[in-house]
Amino acid sequence: MHVTPEMVRELRDKTNSGIMDCKTALSESKGDMQKAIDVLRKKGLVIAAKKSGRKAAEGIIGSYIHHGDKIGVLVEVNCETDFVARNAEFREFVKMVTLQIASASPAYLVPADVTQDILEREKEIIRDQIKNKPANVVEKIVEGKLSKFYETCCLLEQPSVRPEHEGRKIKDLLTDLIAKLGENIVIRRFTRFQIGG
């Protein structure tokens, strides 16, 4: 399978990956665009896992005030070096995260942050909704519905509100950025303010 420059450009536009990475992924996938995207995403996960133990003590605090001054967001995103903290793609990611928080109003960063009492209350509500189902399927349904719950209330589990990301989760976009910039990057904390909220 011959990989054309047009194919490389299309994959690069879709994934923001480097030219050689795109070419290699297209060769591995024999020109199948979706498989090439999957190859790049798996590579990103491996790189992100290797970087996750490294200390991220630099970074920036991003802010966003929504039109009308009724919603405001502050978010701390850390990286390993000041060089990356000044990088345009890093800053664009931080900006995208502030818009996500303003739009989707997450209450937590990750599922582990959800308090036990909230989790138990949510499970109880789900069990009440499915009480007529057989006992052997109830727990599977509860787990499935909890995944949906996490997608609404946990920032890293939320699908991006930006249309160009086609419903990819914030954690996937973070993994892509780690793979691209070669540093551990961590969304440390955030606060969302809303008038009267």
Distance CA 178, CA 180 (A): 5
Q: What is the DSSP letter of 70?
A: -
Task: Give Cα 170 to chain centroid, integer Å.
Answer: 1
Residues 124, 135 within the same domain: yes
Report the SS3 class of residue 35: helix
**Per-residue pLDDT reduced to its tens digit, 41-88:** 777 655 555 656 667 779 999 999 998 999 999 999 999 999 999 999
Distance CA 144, CA 151 (A): 11
Residues 127, 188 within the same domain: no
What pTM does this model have? 0.71
Residues 17, 106 within the same domain: no
Distance CA 184, CA 197 (A): 34
**Per-residue pLDDT reduced to its tens digit, 143-157:** 888 889 999 999 999
Q: Which domain holds residue 167?
A: 58-110+154-194
Residues 46, 65 within the same domain: no
CATH of the domain at 36: 1.10.8.10
Total domains in the fold of the chain: 3
Residues 162, 180 within the same domain: yes
Residues 78, 136 within the same domain: no
